[in-house]
Chains A and B, each alone.
Chain A
């Protein structure tokens, strides 16, 4: 979690060790302040939003498009967000709004890409080690899972985000993220033939 500190004319975003309580109605969140500043043309504020949300966007895209395309699309998503930032009415909903842009961008990617047979990441990377091939295989198994599970699992297992972090970034409730993680992991274990530890 992040909280914001105003020190003179400096706007600092610092990592916090303790979980933050939900911000009160009257107190705007760090993201809201950053969104407000970015709307006024503050590049630094937008850069900070990028730092905060790029992992989430990367994870959402990775759940849908080939790995080698993801970095370009992350840039596209943030450029699109920058262009449409003035259309966002509730600054506090930036995470969910950005996640939606990322999902739409991934759909556009598939719509506009010529109809070709996509190689799995394992096949498209010749001379890969055994670990790399296994990683690619696991990733493709996750991608075949239902959308709610695959997105949450990728954010957790690939991007290294915690459950509360996923909830605050994507705008989902903590309870639904927890359920998705639990059920998704159970399904993944079954598909990979792992025996659940008791």
Chain B
């Protein structure tokens, strides 16, 4: 027998195939509307540069620039045999002014002629002045302090401090922000999980009327929309930084938030129950409880 019927349903009917089709049709996909997130992701036009650039490459580049600067500084200091300190620079200025105006030099000059001392180490300069590195920078980046909740903004915001225009290298600030961002995300995630827990508990405890009449869940819907947006942002953040367990929890939470956010204004008891069953099946509240505790500990 030709297998045309099996191939495209044409030709003579194959009784075995037809019987199996009828038998297995109960498992066929029942078209259901796709639950879309509130905001669609927009195409990201990634240039070649943006493909190459990542927080890691930025940190590596900053470290290379830092090393290069230090090497150049050491070489310069060794060649010069030391650097003039602030006082000698000030004295030189005064001498110049004196020459220009023809006036007298004030008596605050030191009795001995100033000789710039040769530092024992290239990074230690007489008078405690580090002309290039600045006070906040050093060979070893300052350890990232564990973030307070407000520190989350540091992911996108540059910390106030000396700018490159002032001759101070700020690479360590960037490194600090990047290496600390996972800790900050953990803090943010802990807060997010707590809020989500409250919402889901409230939703779970919402009274369901047995006669199938509508329930007012407008507050939960609104909250869910707010949390959904935060969830997407956090998920993208942890995804980019490879924090997969947290991403897993956020990914599990997202469909539930979408379900609640997409509920009609007056949902029926069946619709609410269906979401409650999914929550129960996925044990999402318990998972959130565990992860919010873990994330809080990690953030402290």
Closest Cβ neighbor of A40 among chain B residues: B43
Check if B41 sits within 8 Å of A86, measured CB to CB. yes
Q: Which of A46, A55, A159 contacts B36 (CB 8 A)?
A: A46
A138–B24 Cα gap in the complex (Å)?
A: 8
Check if B37 sits within 8 Å of A62, measured CB to CB. no
Check if A157 sits within 8 Å of B17, measured CB to CB. yes
Least Cβ distance of B183 to chain A in Å?
24
Closest Cβ neighbor of B20 among chain A residues: A157
Least Cβ distance of A28 to chain B in Å?
16
Number of interface residues of A (CB under 8 A): 53
CB contact under 8 A between A50 and B27, given known A163-B7, A164-B8: no
In the complex, A178 has a CB within 8 A of chain B:
yes
In the complex, B6 has a CB within 8 A of chain A:
yes
At the interface, is chain A mostly helix, strand, loop or mixed?
helix
Q: Which residues of B contact A15 (CB under 8 A)?
A: none
In the complex, B170 has a CB within 8 A of chain A:
no
A83–B44 Cα gap in the complex (Å)?
A: 11
Check if A198 sits within 8 Å of B28, measured CB to CB. no
Check if A67 sits within 8 Å of B27, measured CB to CB. yes
CB contact under 8 A between A46 and B27, given known A157-B21, A164-B8, A189-B16: no
Against A, the Cβ 8 Å flags (1 = close, 0 = not) of B88-128 are: 00000000000000000000000000000000000000000
Q: Which residues of A contact B6 (CB under 8 A)?
A: 156, 163, 181-182, 185
Q: Which residues of A contact B81 (CB under 8 A)?
A: none
CB contact under 8 A between A82 and B41, given known A47-B36, A59-B29, A164-B8: yes
Check if B42 sits within 8 Å of A132, measured CB to CB. no
In the complex, A76 has a CB within 8 A of chain B:
yes
Closest Cβ neighbor of B27 among chain A residues: A158
Q: Which residues of B contact A41 (CB under 8 A)?
A: 40-43
Closest Cβ neighbor of A51 among chain B residues: B31
In the complex, B52 has a CB within 8 A of chain A:
no
Closest Cβ neighbor of B42 among chain A residues: A41
Most B CB within 10 A of own CB, among A40, A47, A160, A196: A160
Check if A185 sits within 8 Å of B31, measured CB to CB. no
Q: Which residues of B contact A64 (CB under 8 A)?
A: none
A108–B291 Cα gap in the complex (Å)?
A: 20
Closest Cβ neighbor of B29 among chain A residues: A58
25 contacts between A and B (CB under 8 A): A43-B36, A46-B34, A46-B36, A47-B34, A62-B27, A72-B255, A74-B29, A75-B34, A82-B37, A86-B44, A86-B46, A112-B248, A135-B26, A138-B20, A138-B23, A139-B27, A157-B21, A157-B24, A158-B25, A158-B27, A162-B7, A162-B9, A164-B8, A181-B7, A188-B20
Besides the known contacts A41-B43, A194-B16, A197-B14, 14 further A-B residue pairs in the complex with CB atoms under 8 A apart:
A46-B40, A47-B36, A62-B27, A79-B37, A82-B36, A82-B37, A82-B41, A134-B23, A158-B24, A160-B28, A185-B16, A185-B17, A196-B16, A197-B15
Nearest 5 Cβ contacts at the A-B interface: A58-B29, A39-B43, A41-B40, A163-B7, A50-B34
